[in-house]
Amino acid sequence: MLRLKSKFARTLVIIGAFVFYAILLNAYAVSKNIDVVEFESAMYPPSPFKIKKAKKLGIALETKPGILLKGFLAKPSGDGPFPAVVLMHGCNGIWRWDEVWTNRLVGWGYVVLGVDSFEPRGNPNICIKPLAITPESRSLDAYGAKIYLSTLPFVDPIRIAVMGMSHGGWSALKAIKRSASADLQKKPFRAAVALYPYCGDSEQIVDKPTLILIGEKDEWTQANLCIRYVDTLQFPHETTLKVFPGAHHVFDLEGTDSKRKGVLDGQLKDRIYRYDPQASEKAIQMIREFLRKWL
């Protein structure tokens, strides 16, 4: 009987999480006059070898459609064309961070498309299982958003950057790799901003200007990995790394001071989210100057 109650309780928690998530997304879209849009994630076209093999068999290969995604589109007043930023959320999905940065970026004159990578895949939070939806998959989501933005008359298609936090920052670094745009046969992003990303990947070739910001005391994504990442980049490159002394994860979101469960290096434990006013102010200034320079 206790086992049944436990399963029932877990079901209620899952249902409650989805309901809360739906309410949050609706409030985010309605209260800030943000349009909810749909677009497909990008997909890799068939390789030349597969095309050649299929041709011998009399089969025409085509790129398969990507997953249908939801996005939150906001723009400055006026007709444009404006530069644009594809915004990638963290491991807990769309939340207050996305709203704050959308408002800030629009205020600076950018069109913003916040990509929801999780809800369309039926998984609103992957902090405990960060590879349940991989950063490689999310980099394709980012390119799908870029393709969609390029069709809008008020967006300048050659001035589109990608920006993300935590898992979304990791995904942004994946999107800026030279191999990503080459394999997709698409024009690359103009630039990338990664706030406290995981920097432990082996592929180090970046294609465009990149800004990485992370706290010295980040327990989630570890500054030393980002230092090592940048130190091993092949020159010449336009990658800037700033490590903020004493700062923790989500240092740029005012009012944040909590612990949340997450997995790093296979270990599940409570890790700190904490606002740092000095680091936040400097990070905001650096991001604004970076985007102004490259977009």
User: Tell me, what amino acid is at 260?
Assistant: R
| CA-based nearest residue to 114, from 170, 69, 166, 176 | 69
Strands 35-40 and 68-74, by their bridges, are antiparallel
Q: Find the DSSP H helices in the chain.
A: 2-31, 48-56, 96-107, 135-149, 167-175, 178-184, 223-231, 277-294
Q: Which two tokens stand for residue 274?
A: 């904490």
The most confident of the ranges 15-29, 34-48, 235-249, 278-292 is 278-292
CA distance 42 to 39: 9
Q: Which two tokens stand for residue 127?
A: 């902090």
Do the Cβ atoms of 150 and 186 come closer than 8 Å? no
Do the Cβ atoms of 241 and 215 come closer than 8 Å? no
Q: What is the pTM of this model?
A: 0.84
| pLDDT tens per residue, range 69-103 | 999 999 999 999 999 999 999 999 999 999 999 99
| pLDDT tens per residue, range 270-287 | 899 999 999 999 999 999
Instruction: Tell me 216's DSSP state.
Output: T
State the pLDDT confidence band at 15, using cuts at 50, 70 and 90: very low
CA distance 215 to 217: 5
| Domain locations along the chain | 1-31, 35-294
Q: What are phi and psi of 253, to 5 degrees?
A: -105, 105
Task: List the Cα angle 178/179/180 in 5-degree steps.
Answer: 95
| pLDDT tens per residue, range 135-177 | 999 999 999 999 999 999 999 999 999 999 999 999 999 999 8
Q: Which CATH architecture has domain 35-294?
A: 3-Layer(aba) Sandwich (3.40)
